[in-house]
Structure 1
Amino acid sequence: MSKVFTGLAVSVDGYISGKRPEGADEFGSGLGDAPTLFDWYFDGDTPSQVFDGFKLSEPSARFFDSIASRVGAIVVGHTTYEHSSRFGGGSPHPTAPMVLLSNRLVPEAGDGQTVITTGVEDAIAAARDIAGSKDVGLMGGGLVSSALAAGLVDEVILHQVPILLGGGRRFFHELPEHVELRLLQAVPAPGVTHLHYGVGR
């Protein structure tokens, strides 16, 4: 059976954005001259075989491409969708179709974007149908937290950047109870450590 997983770049203290001086969150960014959480996507000399334009270090490219090539469909939360300019009517993944989980109809959704309004279980089920034998990726902190609470996530992958942002927007939202993770793989690389966890049941 296909797996359901999420993968995202985070600071060591668990943030996906820093806090700008005026108080606004800036997705992926640090404070002032601090590095962004996405520098490692472009700071290397090894092109990704999955994502055009990504040039990573060799260990990052090897790990990242092995994960990205597993994805047959990706479920995205509505907040992430809006913050990402609706992915231009397409998908955040170059080959995997997108399923959008929303609490309302989305008339502006692109033709290749499947909209589900009946909950995270139905969104993941729809993505499994699309993905076939491949895996389902999840994108968005609220979506991932809801899927974890429902027991629907098999793996969590954190691309941990060695910076403490001290504030901003956290990736994980509040959960009704603790979730145990077991470390499957840790890959150190320039500017990032890739932490691959299995989710306990």
Structure 2
Amino acid sequence: MRKLIFGMNLSLDGYVAAPGDDLGWSVPSDELFQWWSDRVATTELALYGRRVWEGMSSHWPTADQQPGVLPAHAEYARRWRAMPKVVFSSTISHVDGNTRLVTGDAVAEITRLKAGDGGPMDLVGATLAAAAMRAGLIDEYVLVTAPVLVGGGVRFFAALDSWVNLTLVETRTFPGGVVLTRYETRR
């Protein structure tokens, strides 16, 4: 069975995007950017919600070809293109590159993918993650918490019907007071 990991940058008050989908508060340090890049290099399959997919796919497919691109950004772009991806959306009809579109039941497809053989799958997008959380499919939570309160927006955690007990497996501090915490679900 594959491991399903949900990880994103979030504000201290628990939002992945401020009102208006503002992400200006979450610009990573070079060290944190490298950590995310290394994570992409080890992810066997990334599962994207539509909104995050649209943002990522508008930039990373050609980011390494832009004038003055930083070497770390070029490396990330290559890794991101190489990583197999699945996008879950009922509102778009086409995806490009190393990507497959799923328009049907996200929970059923994630359950099917998780039951297969292979390495870890990263879940990217709060709305998609909310469905997986409620279905009890997430094995690990990666919170990269920025020292900022944004007061509203898109929440990292969904409302749940019951508790989810977690075990802390890693903490790390990055420049600027950003703190990484990783938790595994206790079953």
Could you tell me the TM-score, scaled by structure 1's length?
0.71
Matches of 1:148 and 1:17, distance apart in 2? 19
Q: Which residue of 2 aligns with 1:71?
A: 43
Letter in 1 for 2:23: G
Match runs of 1:1-201 below 5 Å? 1-19=1-19, 25-29=20-24, 36-40=25-29, 55-56=30-31, 61=34, 63-64=35-36, 67-82=39-54, 84=55, 86-87=57-58, 93-103=80-90, 106-110=92-96, 112-124=98-110, 127=113, 133-191=118-176, 192-201=178-187
Letter in 2 for 1:139: V
More helix by share: 2
**Pairwise CA distance, 1:156:** 0.5
Residues 1:109 and 1:134: Cα distance change in structure 2 (over 3 Å): same
Matches of 1:121 and 1:139, distance apart in 2? 14
Letter in 1 for 2:48: V
Q: Aligned pair count?
A: 170
Matches of 1:183 and 1:146, distance apart in 2? 23
Matches of 2:148 and 2:170, distance apart in 1? 21
SS of 1:107's equivalent in the other structure is coil
Whether the 8 Å contact between 1:89 and 1:112 is mirrored in structure 2 is no
The alignment-based identity, stated in percent, is: 24
Residues 1:107 and 1:117: Cα distance change in structure 2 (over 3 Å): closer
Q: Which residue of 1 aligns with 2:72?
A: none
Structure 2 unmatched ranges of 5 or more: 62-76
**Pairwise CA distance, 1:132:** 5.3
Matches of 2:88 and 2:49, distance apart in 1? 5
Matches of 1:186 and 1:112, distance apart in 2? 32
Letter in 1 for 2:12: V
Matches of 1:17 and 1:115, distance apart in 2? 24
Residues 1:177 and 1:125: Cα distance change in structure 2 (over 3 Å): closer
Task: Using CA pairs under 8 Å that are at least 6 residues apart, name the structure with larger relative contact order, 1 or 2.
Answer: 2
Whether the 8 Å contact between 1:15 and 1:165 is mirrored in structure 2 is yes
Structure 1 unmatched ranges of 5 or more: 20-24, 30-35, 41-54
RMSD: 2.9
